[in-house]
Chains A and B, each alone.
Chain A
Amino acid sequence: MLEVNGLNARYGRAHILNGVALSVGENEVVALLGRNGAGKSTTMKSVMGLVRQTEGSIRYEGQEIRGKASHTICRAGIGYVPEERRIFGELTVEENLEVGRREARPGAPEWTLDHLFKLFPNLEERRRNLGKQLSGGEQQMLTIARTLMGNPKLVLLDEPSEGIAPVIVEQMAKVIEELKAEGLSVLLSEQNLHFARLVSDRAYIIEKGEMRWNGTFAELDAQPAVSQSYLAV
């Protein structure tokens, strides 16, 4: 579904990603693990067309999408949930969802407001509140719901468990399971190994902009040195 190869990314003169390669299969949940500053967010932004200077290949459903405008990439079926959430604070919850709304897409699950409110009950109560009035956890729910309104096939989830209460993290895990059950593919970036293990099928480990390791969690457990050197703080 998504094939990234030899991806380089730069901000100005800073060379951030160096030959990153990864793939996400149909209906698979893949974790991208790494410490703070490893390059997880930059990888996701590059896929989404939000980094200007990139080289290499990013193929989605067989098509090269590197260098395309981000709205084109979104319309092709990739949904992006940014780490900073980037809720429209001056818009109501409903309006935030409206911004994300797109036509249904053949081969992807179709999300309606009702369905989303079932998945995120808090949002329904707060549908007329402004984005900036929501709590951190609610904002995290809203940013996911907003992306789902675009009926994507592949979702890029950037550190969804960051900075939210443990109860919400549990809810988040359920949401990801639900996405998988609906048939979506997910690329999930995480520092929280525990959470990633709960929801993902396999994992990549990135450090200093380079891929260091990939495999299943069982394989990761068999090599404690790997997580020791790339993930432990």
Chain B
Amino acid sequence: MGFYLAQLLTGLANASSLFLIASGLSIIFGVTRIVNFAHGSFYMVGAYMSYTLVTLWSGSILGYWGGVILAAAAVGLIGLVIEMTILRRIYRAPELFQLVATFGVVLIFQDLTQAVWGAEDLLGPRAPGLDSAVRIFGEPIPEYDLALIAIGPAVLLAIWLVFHRTRWGVLVRAATQDREMVGALGVNQAWLFSAAFVLGAFLAGLGGALQIPREAVSLQMDLSIIGEAFVVVVIGGMGSVTGAFVAAVLISVLNAFAILIFPQVSIVLPFVVMAVVLIVRPYGLFGKPGSEHGAPVEPEQPLTLMGQKGLMVMIAAVFVLALSPLAVADFTTILLVDVMVATLFAVSLHFMMGVGGMVSFGHAAYFGVGAYAAAMGVKYFGLGMVPSMALAPFCAAAAALFFGWFCVRLSGVYLAMLTLAAAQILWGVTFQWQDFTGGDDGILGVWPAQWASSDRVYFYIAFVLCIGGIWLLRRAAHSPFGYTLRGVRDSRTRAEAIGVDTRFHQWMGFTLAGTLAGLAGVVFAFSKGSVFPDTLGIALSIDGLIMVLLGGIHALAGPIYGAVAFVMIEDWVTRLDYWRFIFGAIILVVVLLAPDGIAGGVHRLVRMIRGGKA
């Protein structure tokens, strides 16, 4: 009895921390529609700042809590600076583009934090007056956990009062529903957005600052929390603070008990719960359809297809690529294979997002399934390289067919989150199922057949498969199927009105994109000679997303530019010290210079050079 109560209390204390982070994320999304990947960074920086301050002032209760609040306020200020200097300039960019900028911020903060506080984990002091345990039914419960359990609901109440008793709060709630209308009623959105961002950052910083007595402060805090925070926001319904609270309690308490029965479950549990909730309630527990389409969506720009000239340039580039192994060193050949793999992966993701209108946060799942299927083909089933290569994309297709069936029932960010859940579940299973997948150790020795083992020969295999895959997707985008899919993207209602089975088309588009991502995974597996769970991981999914968005989602050539630039720059900067900082800064510069992506930037540059109006 006492034991279960203790478990429940631990769960509730965790829920409070999670709620603080998730509520800020939810508020920011609700008002600004920004999917803020940097929220984990706010949390981490809050923890580090508070570590410094409370270590300094831990002598007195006032000093300790003053340090916590001051750290949170400093993070709020950082949020303000980021909003005003970066995000404010790109609110009019295509949907989700801001996410790229927040990802740049994540990278920058990783290196900044390391530069200031070092790479070692730091253990902070306990809160004065709350540093021992009380016995409840014989079980020792840390006093600090009890304090946290009280802080969560107190913050919820405070947010509720602000949202219902102040004019600012009313405006925030109105903007969550329809921000364009709020603007037409005379409210300056820039100011409202800044304030929402500051509040969100403050809450994340507070969440981090309150963790000091519970865990060591580390550089992994940012990415370890962000996945779960998104889950909580989505389960609660994006934009709903009450929803975030309920979801945080649900996830944390379930987790506290589930690990007793099945310890491995904790890394996939949140995502399983999210998947189930989204399938039953497509907008989360407290979300409203209206809060997703708050503002009537700006008419999407039509997809820019490649002109005659662009096509010629592309064909020329492919020719140069085909001849390059004859001219360059072997390590460059290997890099070029990486570029081709990334390009096929990005083009397949773009087919989903730009052509199909379905954003995916979990596209690596199909890449990884392809890679693992190929590896298992040669290692466990003794198939040769060619049969494995031929079969593996169908495994990816099967996975995409299965998960896609659920995903196309949703739309917008919720759809994206369900793809993330699918990917995380696959990743979790791969990671934990040691006997079948090799778990963390991966599968080694996945080498091409003897005849294909030289870098040059493998380059041409990769060339044929990747360029073939890209060509196939391009054909599909131009086909009647692709045309219909774009129609569904632009206006679902109109497509339905003329009798198109929109879901079926999206489902097939999802599957095609997954299949080709799988093909990219296959090429990848044999080029590296091994596969690991991170081929299914969230980091790779985000890389793909960055390539597509940075390249320019409105152009068919966008993902090609994005992938090539991404891999080349990454290859170059990772050799430098503080490469994350540099990479993040480059991303921010591109984002600010070309809010329509590289494709848009190139387009404008070409027109400028030709002397037309820019």
Residues of A within 8 A of B (CB): 11-13, 48-50, 52, 69-71, 74-75, 80, 82, 86, 88-91, 95-96, 98-100, 102, 146-147, 150
With A11-B299, A12-B301, A88-B178 as contacts: A70 and B183 at CB distance below 8 Å: yes
Q: Is the CB of B302 within 8 A of A150?
A: no
Residues of B within 8 A of A (CB): 167, 170-171, 173-174, 177-178, 180-189, 288, 290-291, 298-302
Q: Is the CB of A74 within 8 A of B184?
A: yes
Residues of chain A within 8 A (CB-CB) of B181 are 82, 86, 88
CA–CA, A150 and B177, complex, Å: 20
Q: Is the CB of B184 within 8 A of A88?
A: no
Residues of chain B within 8 A (CB-CB) of A12 are 299-302
CA–CA, A90 and B172, complex, Å: 12
For A69, the closest partner residue in chain B by CB is: B183
Q: Is the CB of B185 within 8 A of A150?
A: yes
Q: Is the CB of A99 within 8 A of B184?
A: no
CA–CA, A82 and B296, complex, Å: 12
CA–CA, A91 and B288, complex, Å: 13
Most A Cβ at <10 Å: residue of B167, B185, B187: B185
- In order of increasing CB-CB distance, the 6 nearest A-B pairs are A74-B186, A11-B299, A86-B181, A88-B174, A99-B174, A70-B184
Number of A-B contacts (CB under 8 A): 69
Residues of chain B within 8 A (CB-CB) of A95 are 170, 173-174
Q: Is the CB of B170 within 8 A of A91?
A: yes
Most A Cβ at <10 Å: residue of B170, B181, B182, B186: B186
With A12-B301, A98-B167 as contacts: A86 and B178 at CB distance below 8 Å: yes
With A71-B188, A74-B184, A102-B186 as contacts: A88 and B177 at CB distance below 8 Å: yes
The residue from A50, A90, A102 contacting B184, defined by CB atoms under 8 A apart: A50
- Rounded to whole Å, the gap between the CB of A153 and the closest CB of chain B is 13
CA–CA, A71 and B182, complex, Å: 8
- Rounded to whole Å, the gap between the CB of B181 and the closest CB of chain A is 5
Residues of chain B within 8 A (CB-CB) of A75 are 186
Q: Is the CB of A90 within 8 A of B173?
A: yes
Residues of chain A within 8 A (CB-CB) of B291 are 90
Residues of chain A within 8 A (CB-CB) of B177 are 88-91
Q: Is the CB of B300 within 8 A of A80?
A: no
For A147, the closest partner residue in chain B by CB is: B185
CA–CA, A77 and B18, complex, Å: 45
Q: Is the CB of B183 within 8 A of A91?
A: no
Known: A12-B301, A70-B183. 12 other contacts (CB 8 A): A69-B183, A70-B180, A74-B185, A80-B184, A86-B181, A95-B170, A98-B167, A99-B170, A99-B174, A99-B187, A147-B185, A150-B185
- Rounded to whole Å, the gap between the CB of B394 and the closest CB of chain A is 38
- Rounded to whole Å, the gap between the CB of A80 and the closest CB of chain B is 5
Q: Is the CB of B299 within 8 A of A99?
A: no
CA–CA, A70 and B179, complex, Å: 11
Q: Is the CB of A90 within 8 A of B171?
A: no
- Rounded to whole Å, the gap between the CB of B17 and the closest CB of chain A is 28
The residue from A71, A86, A99 contacting B189, defined by CB atoms under 8 A apart: A71
- Rounded to whole Å, the gap between the CB of A78 and the closest CB of chain B is 9
CA–CA, A49 and B291, complex, Å: 23
Q: Is the CB of A71 within 8 A of B167?
A: no
Q: Is the CB of A88 within 8 A of B183?
A: no
Q: Is the CB of B183 within 8 A of A99?
A: no
Q: Is the CB of A13 within 8 A of B187?
A: no
Residues of chain A within 8 A (CB-CB) of B173 are 88, 90-91, 95
CA–CA, A125 and B183, complex, Å: 28
For B176, the closest partner residue in chain A by CB is: A90
With A12-B301, A50-B180, A90-B173 as contacts: A99 and B290 at CB distance below 8 Å: no
- Rounded to whole Å, the gap between the CB of A53 and the closest CB of chain B is 10
CA–CA, A49 and B180, complex, Å: 10
CA–CA, A50 and B298, complex, Å: 10
CA–CA, A102 and B186, complex, Å: 8
